Amino acid sequence: MTEKVLMKGNEAMAESALRAGCRFFFGYPITPQTELAAYMSKRMPLIGGTYLQAESEVSAINMVYGAAAAGARVMTSSSSPGISLKSEGISYMAGSDLPGVIINVQRGGPGLGSIQPSQSDYWQATRATGHGDFQIVVYAPSTVQEMCDCVYSAFDTADKYRIPVMILADGMLGQMMEPVVLPDKIDFCDLPDKPWATTGHGHKRSHNIVNSLYLTAEELEDLNIERYKRYELIKQNEQKAEQFLTEDADIVLVAFGASARIARSAVVAARGEGIKAGLLRPITLWPFPVDAVKDTFDSAKIYLTVEMNMGQMVDDVKLAVNGKRPVEFYGRTGGVIPTPAETLEKIREINERIGE
């Protein structure tokens, strides 16, 4: 077996990106994400890659746009306020069908907010990463190992569908260390061809154009419809979730990322008291794992989302449940981390109510 190493989530995501063939990183420092950029600044020059600290997040995302247009595997990372600054560029990437990986190590918001862990960019990531008709794929890892694995496969997903992919992490996951097995380095020969990339044509082919400006409405409509067909494919193929003790669960908790770790502890404690609780953990937030939610219909009497925000995922769970069961919420916000004990208290309260 490959050796396990102890790494911070931020560092593991950086190393994983390098192993996935990322050779361009453009960023701007912000807590609690900075170790990722620092790691890239150390490693990129040693392996012939490019690390560039831009003068702002806006510049960084436009550099990502440029490198992606040239066909490179490219990444940027930031934390909540910085992602807002990048949102225009992300929309341009989506409108130009450019693959790239964007990491958000969330902190409390809105505004400059706090620097503590939070999940309050759920809506931004899954609904409106920028203006216009588009979606991006969003992964929500909950361990350092999964952060590493998600980043690695994010580059493939981005290339496969020509779509920006976001890793939605948070300050807890970014700062913590856990044992991790790093993936093998890819062979650059295995990377997919990008016949659309602007690589220089040498008068041997017609030139490629990467662009998101279409002044003819009908042309843009056709492109958007084509893109939404691709989104349907992504919904069919890319949903990911983990079920934990949901098979016979009356109360199904739904939680992602850091809060899923806390929800899991609460579920284990509830089971210890004879309460039939389970956890459904979305790993992709877009596409939302609606099929996994449907799998829990047989036993679930009620759903409880547990989040580090004011309840942003509740809507998606309600859409998946489609009125068949009640959906409740427990969470903390502003950078406060909920405890397993207070989550268990909420489970107990629900259990008493549904038992009546």
Partner 1 sequence: MSKEIQAVFAGFGGQGTLFAGKLMAYAGLIESREVSWFPSYGPEMRGGTANCSVTISDSPIGSPLVATPDVVVAMNQPSFDRFVDAVKPGGVVVADTSMVNDLGNRDDITVVGIPATKIAEEASLKGLANIVLMGRLYAAVPYCKPETIDKALAKCIPSKKVAMLEKNKQAIKLGMEA
Q: Are strands 277-282 and 241-244 parallel, antiparallel or unpaired?
A: antiparallel
Closest approach of Cβ 127 to partner 1, in Å?
A: 28
Structure tokens at 56: 């702002």
In angstroms, the CA 19 to CA 96 distance is 26
From the list 311, 310, 293, the residue with the least C-alpha distance to 302 is 293
Closest approach of Cβ 179 to partner 1, in Å?
A: 5
Between residues 98 and 262, which has the closer beta carbon with respect to partner 1? 262
Closest approach of Cβ 226 to partner 1, in Å?
A: 42
Between residues 155 and 256, which has the closer beta carbon with respect to partner 1? 256
Between residues 63 and 105, which has the closer beta carbon with respect to partner 1? 105
Q: Which long-range contacts (CB under 8 A, 24 or more apart) does 208-217 make?
A: 210/69, 210/96, 210/98, 211/96, 212/91, 212/92, 212/94, 212/95, 212/96
From the CB of residue 49, how many other CB atoms can be counted at a distance below 10 Å?
19
Q: What are phi and psi of 328, to 5 degrees?
A: -115, 175
260 membership: H or E segment, kind and range: helix 257-272
From the list 125, 146, 145, the residue with the least C-alpha distance to 135 is 125
Between residues 70 and 337, which has the closer beta carbon with respect to partner 1? 337
Closest approach of Cβ 32 to partner 1, in Å?
A: 6
Between residues 31 and 153, which has the closer beta carbon with respect to partner 1? 31
Closest approach of Cβ 339 to partner 1, in Å?
A: 6
From the list 285, 253, 244, the residue with the least C-alpha distance to 119 is 285
Residues that bind partner 1 (CB under 8 A): 4, 6, 31-32, 114-116, 171-172, 175-179, 258, 261-262, 264-266, 268, 335, 337, 339-341
State whether the Cα torsion 177-178-180-186 is positive or negative. Answer: negative
Between residues 74 and 283, which has the closer beta carbon with respect to partner 1? 283
Closest approach of Cβ 39 to partner 1, in Å?
A: 16
In angstroms, the CA 270 to CA 342 distance is 12
Closest approach of Cβ 142 to partner 1, in Å?
A: 10
Between residues 62 and 114, which has the closer beta carbon with respect to partner 1? 114
Q: Where are the beta strands (DSSP E) in the chain?
A: 5-8, 24-27, 50-53, 74-78, 100-106, 137-139, 164-170, 177-180, 241-244, 251-254, 277-282, 284-286, 302-307, 327-331
Q: How many CA atoms lie within 13 A of 112 on its CB side?
A: 2
Between residues 57 and 178, which has the closer beta carbon with respect to partner 1? 178
Closest approach of Cβ 309 to partner 1, in Å?
A: 17
